[in-house]
Amino acid sequence: MSGPESVLVWMLSLNREYSKAEYDTIFNLCKICYPATNPKYEPTNADSFRQYITQLLPVLMMRHRRVPRAKWQDHVTANGKHWIDHIYSSMPEHAGRPRPPSIGYQLTFQNSLCGMAVTQGTPQSVVNIGLGIKQAKVEPKNASVQSYVESLSHKLTHLELSNLANKPDEVVLKRLCILLALKESYIKAIGQPIGFDFTRLEFDVPNHTATGDGKPLHGWEFRVFSANLGVARGTILKKEQYECVCAYFRGGSDVTYIFHETTQQLENWVQFINIDQLMAVSSKLAA
């Protein structure tokens, strides 16, 4: 992970319902892999399963790099930003080798999609990464797009609302979800709490600008992409679409938007897996 593609994203699709046995496996893995935490056992709570399986994404990533859990340490800042360091011993086989870079990551999930944004470098730089996910659907189920926008207008600025005006419903819903994912990604990247006022941020996507408290977000890069899932709910296969944004502080004087429209463009830095693929390797994750 170097050069312009110094950001990676792992996306886990919960493309079917989970079993109690699978919940137990994930729950026990979290207790083993993160012994300092005290997870609450709630097998019938779908959000509990989403949270715990998302917490295993860093473990899966490190296992993919052939680094067992005992060989790395998870750190967290005062405002909840995580990074990983290899446990670097003074044993002779490590003599003369450079210390591996730190790996920063941020986790998030919504409904059927769990995600992890990753970068590497110094501990001070790698924590400046965030991931926002917003499902493209109105709530409540039968609401109009216009009423849905109105229900979320307190999170948008006048300029952002004007950029949604006089557009077809499909375009409005997509752009609304991108705006909310942009704000979520930045808020998580800087480690702000859930109650952060979204209107302090303004994303003028058509003009490729972004501000926080009226000041340009110099040096920030926002990668925008969609995820389309097929999700089994009982015997019914449903299609779900999500708008996703990875925010990363790369430095410099510009605000950068990167839009990835095709699967080929995403393959360089986004990896999609599903629940079956994670469960298939679950027995190896705690090793």
The tens digit of pLDDT for each residue in 93-129 reads 556 678 889 999 999 999 999 999 999 999 999 999 9
Q: Is the pLDDT of residue 52 over 70?
A: yes
Distance, in Å, from the CA atom of 33 to the CA atom of 47, rounded to the nearest integer, reads 19
Q: Is the pLDDT of residue 4 over 50?
A: no
Joined tokens for residue 231: 């999700």
Burial class for 110, CB neighbours closer than 10 Å (0-12, 13-18, 19+): middle
Q: Is the pLDDT of residue 88 over 80?
A: no
Q: Is the pLDDT of residue 211 over 80?
A: yes
Render pLDDT for 171-183 as a digit per residue (tens, 0 to 9). 999 999 999 999 9
Residue 3: band (very low, low, confident or very high) from pLDDT cuts 50, 70, 90: very low
Q: CA angle, corner 234, sides to 232 and 236, nearest 5? A: 60
Residue 2: band (very low, low, confident or very high) from pLDDT cuts 50, 70, 90: very low
- Helices first, then strands: H and E counts in the chain: 10, 13
Contact 251, 279 (CB under 8 A): no
Q: Which CATH superfamily is domain 7-284 in?
A: 4'-phosphopantetheinyl transferase domain (3.90.470.20)
Amino acid identity of 142? N
Domain ranges within the chain, ordered by starting residue: 7-284
For residue 130, what are the contacts with CB-CB under 8 A and spacing of at least 6?
A: 106, 117, 184, 185, 186, 187, 188, 189, 190, 246, 247, 248
Q: Is the pLDDT of residue 209 over 90?
A: yes
Distance, in Å, from the CA atom of 117 to the CA atom of 132, rounded to the nearest integer, reads 10
- The alpha carbon of 261 is separated from its chain's Cα centroid by a whole number of angstroms, namely 18
Hunting for tokens 């870079």 — which residue is that?
A: 101
| Mean pLDDT on 265-276 | 91
**What's the pLDDT at 72?**
94
**What's the pLDDT at 57?**
97
pTM of the predicted structure, to 2 decimals = 0.92
Q: Is the pLDDT of residue 217 over 70?
A: yes
